[in-house]
Structure 1
């Protein structure tokens, strides 16, 4: 199974015993939409809803932080995801939240996880089958395991300012990266991590929500000043769109784009972290 699968491929695979389909749509308050309600109204047949807000560290003051391996495994078992499953994740969100679920599943030990190219919008536009309601699933065993080698914390990002061992790329819109526009969350300073680069995620997609050709995605990384042969850490506002850049790196064959999980919600809230404004230099 490829990292990115088409609607045609998924339609042909639906119903196979080892295939699991996940709707990982997530909306921010400004979107004024309810992901769970939209899922219950219409979803791909057999899909289950992956609640990114709930499958997170509820004890953290920062949004969407990774949960413990035990909590993640428990939630996946309840969704009917088990060891050996092939998983296809999709979303219907402007922030392409399926990438966050892809990253979490991969980090916590799922071996075959793909994203549906074009998501639910493309599936619907093609007139493919949908269903409504809350699915009934059978619990399966999901091994408790985590490899956090591709997770970074504030201390590591701070140390990287000294060593420059890893390139940092920010997925936020350009105006937020430069500090020209304020952050939506309160009490966050404007700007970006010193030395970081910027690839707003909308630059990676076609108008219909499908991913651009690999050569175009590679060109975006290159024009941002990133070397795909060297370590990269992605960041964003709250850890969601950073995963889009991590997935893009995987498509391009990068061995693993790490994610700063606290993201700007943590960095921008601190009174002591260094911040710069203006374009990347």
Structure 2
């Protein structure tokens, strides 16, 4: 796989071509099923990923290494724990990561941002996620790929963080564009996987 540029969004056709006829997952490409539910008691690994996923993808738990608060249900992961977790997912410094979810794109974009926040720039989101993959007639599998542990080390990029005061100040200066990827229902979902 040769990319001169890492696109923010990639198509299902592009991803299918990258997977091609490879029987094994490659260090160069890691596909993450990022589907999650706000209710931490819902096991999206069993109730989503294990039922069928894009070939060569691994389950990504967005809650791994995090502590929720009433104000922040999906907080940032602790950096050392996140380093260990990402190493276990087989994401190497030069791995192109593709994040997708089962329906709504919030989890995939959150994963895209979180990986970038912790220093991994080679990450894209699958346009339309699993739903589009299936609509395009591509197969899913229940097979789980064998993954070699990587040497990834998370490094926090504070340039991608904004405080409450930064956001308020930006309303006046309008220097940065603010995008809230959450849908209305996701702001108040308390249980169940978003499908």
TM-score by length of structure 1 reads 0.54
**Structure 2 unpaired stretches of 5+:** 1-5, 189-195
Aligned pairs for 1:245-256 (under 5 A) are: none
Q: Is the aligned partner of 1:150 residue 2:126? A: no
2:10 corresponds in structure 1 to 5
Aligned pairs for 1:1-281 (under 5 A) are: 1-14=6-19, 15=22, 17-29=27-39, 34-37=43-46, 38-56=48-66, 58=67, 60=69, 62-94=72-104, 96-152=106-162, 156-157=163-164, 159-160=165-166, 164-167=168-171, 230-234=175-179, 241=182
**Deviation for aligned residue 1:60:** 4.8
Q: CA offsets, 1:96-140, max 9 Å, x none?
A: 310000000011111211000010011112221221044431111
Contact 1:82–1:140 (8 Å) recurs in 2: yes
Give 3-state SS (helix, strand or coil) of 2:138's partner.
coil
Q: CA offsets, 1:247-277, max 9 Å, x none?
A: xxxxxxxxxxxxxxxxx89xxxxxxxxxxxx
- Distance (Å, rounded) in 1 between the aligned partners of 2:42 and 2:85: 23
- Distance (Å, rounded) in 1 between the aligned partners of 2:90 and 2:59: 11
Flag as ranges the 4+ runs of structure 1 deviating above 6 A.
none
CA distance 1:5–1:141, shift in 2 (3 Å) = same
- Distance (Å, rounded) in 1 between the aligned partners of 2:117 and 2:38: 24
Give 3-state SS (helix, strand or coil) of 1:22's partner.
strand
- Distance (Å, rounded) in 1 between the aligned partners of 2:53 and 2:99: 12
**Structure 1 unpaired stretches of 5+:** 168-194, 196-225, 243-263, 266-281
CA distance 1:118–1:234, shift in 2 (3 Å) = closer
2:3 corresponds in structure 1 to none
- Distance (Å, rounded) in 1 between the aligned partners of 2:114 and 2:178: 16
- Distance (Å, rounded) in 1 between the aligned partners of 2:89 and 2:122: 16
CA distance 1:55–1:119, shift in 2 (3 Å) = farther
**Deviation for aligned residue 1:143:** 1.6
Higher relative contact order (CA 8 A, sep 6+): 2
Query: How well do the aligned residues superpose, as a CA RMSD in angstroms?
Result: 2.9
- Distance (Å, rounded) in 2 between the aligned partners of 1:145 and 1:59: 22
Give 3-state SS (helix, strand or coil) of 1:241's partner.
coil
